């Protein structure tokens, strides 16, 4: 056994090697073999000098931008936000009458399939019976406090959110070939098909519970998709869509299958 060629290292190496590692090789070559005396100033030093002679200035406050932020247009987030907000065209709501604002809201709801007469018959919080604002019309509770004080736990909520429909009623909506190829998921104490297919809540039950959304919304067929149980298990409690997208899917679904 011989020692590493790097004189700063005392490790023993095999006879067919010169250095014990690439690190030792680089240290020895750069420190003892290479001659840097004739090298020109490094590229970094040249860039630093050039930037010092011709620095950038913040687009908002006109202060000098430091070297390590030289690729930025603004010196910090505050200046960026201030500049964007001053150039943004804001809508002056005071220029509209109360009736005009109400008409705009009703037109927006109508275009998205909403109820324009919601204020006349609003949804109620299941615990405190408080009126739910239009944005939370599909929620079950008005606040997180009401959720925490609700006697029903997540386990009961999961039961309420189970899919109660038959896939055969909607053959156009689901990929039955996935079932033919892999079969349905079954645990080891039954048919032992751990790589089979299971139903997934695209907007998860957990998120529905935290937001106090009506279980009928979470258990709607429009919130269901078929996927391999292994992928479903990796997904855990994460949602693959937002609640707003789920509501749009439900509206389209109900229109398509209305009367079925």
pLDDT digits (tens, 9 = 90+) for 147-186: 666 645 677 888 889 999 988 888 888 888 888 888 988 8
* Range with lowest mean pLDDT among 65-69, 188-192, 220-224, 256-260: 256-260
Phi/psi region, residue 238 (left: phi>0; alpha: psi -120 to 50; beta: rest), is beta
pLDDT in tens, 64-75: 888 878 888 888
Please say if the pLDDT value at position 88 is more than 70.
Answer: no
Q: How confident is the model at residue 142 (pLDDT cuts 50, 70, 90)?
A: confident
* CA pair distance 72, 66, nearest whole angstrom: 10
Residue 129 to residues 29, 122, 140: CA-CA distances in angstroms?
Answer: 78, 11, 10
- Contact call for residues 75 and 58 (beta carbons, < 8 A): yes
Q: What is the pLDDT of residues 105-129, one digit of tens each?
A: 777 666 655 666 777 888 888 778 8
E strands, 123-214, in order: 197-201
The overall average pLDDT reported for the chain is 81
**76's tokens:** 């910090």
Phi/psi of residue 197, each to 5°? -100, 145
pLDDT at 195 over 60: yes
**Highest mean pLDDT: which range of 15-19, 148-152, 236-240:** 236-240
Cα(174)–Cα(168) distance, rounded to whole angstroms? 9
Among 56-65, 151-160, 225-234, whose mean pLDDT is lowest?
A: 151-160
CB 185 within 8 A of CB 207: no
Confidence label for 4 from pLDDT (cuts 50, 70 and 90): confident
Among 17-31, 44-58, 97-111, whose mean pLDDT is lowest? Answer: 97-111
More confident residue, 3 or 155: 3
Q: What does the alpha-carbon distance between residue 44 and residue 70 come to, in Å, rounded to a whole number?
A: 13
- Give this prediction's pTM: 0.43
pLDDT category of residue 22 using cuts at 50, 70 and 90? confident
Asked if the model's pLDDT at residue 39 lies above 70, the reply is: no
Mean pLDDT, residues 66-95 taken together: 76
Query: How confident is the model over 87-99, as a mean pLDDT?
Result: 64
**Greatest mean pLDDT range, 133-142, 146-155, 202-211:** 202-211
Rounded to whole angstroms, the Cα distance separating 239 from 2 reads 60
Which tops the pLDDT comparison, 225 or 43?
A: 225
28-62 burial, b at 16+ Cβ within 10 Å, e below that, comes to: beeeeeeeeeeeeeeeeeeeeeeeeeeebebebee
Q: Is the pLDDT of residue 6 over 80?
A: yes
């Amino acid at each position: 056994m011989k020692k590493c060629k790097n004189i700063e290292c005392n490790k023993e190496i095999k006879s067919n090697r010169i250095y014990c590692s690439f690190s030792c090789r680089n240290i020895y070559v750069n420190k003892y073999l290479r001659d840097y005396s004739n090298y020109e100033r490094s590229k970094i030093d040249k860039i630093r000098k050039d930037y010092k002679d011709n620095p950038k200035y913040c687009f908002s406050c006109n202060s000098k931008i430091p070297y390590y932020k030289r690729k930025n247009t603004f010196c910090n987030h505050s200046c960026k936000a201030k500049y964007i907000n001053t150039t943004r065209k804001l809508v002056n709501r005071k220029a509209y009458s109360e009736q005009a604002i109400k008409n705009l809201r009703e037109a927006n709801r109508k275009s998205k399939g909403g109820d324009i007469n919601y204020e006349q018959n609003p949804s109620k919080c299941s615990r405190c019976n408080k009126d739910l604002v239009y944005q939370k019309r599909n929620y079950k509770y008005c606040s997180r406090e009401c959720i925490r004080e609700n006697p029903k736990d997540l386990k009961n909520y999961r039961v309420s959110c189970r899919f109660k429909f038959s896939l055969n009623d909607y053959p156009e909506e689901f990929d039955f070939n996935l079932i033919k190829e892999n079969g349905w998921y079954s645990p080891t104490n039954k048919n032992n098909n751990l790589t089979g297919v299971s139903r997934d809540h695209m907007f998860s039950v957990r998120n529905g519970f935290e937001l106090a959304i009506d279980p009928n919304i979470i258990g709607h067929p429009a919130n269901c998709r078929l996927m391999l149980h292994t992928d479903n298990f990796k997904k855990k409690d994460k949602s693959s869509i937002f609640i707003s997208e789920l509501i749009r899917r439900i509206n389209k679904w109900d229109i398509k299958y209305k009367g079925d």
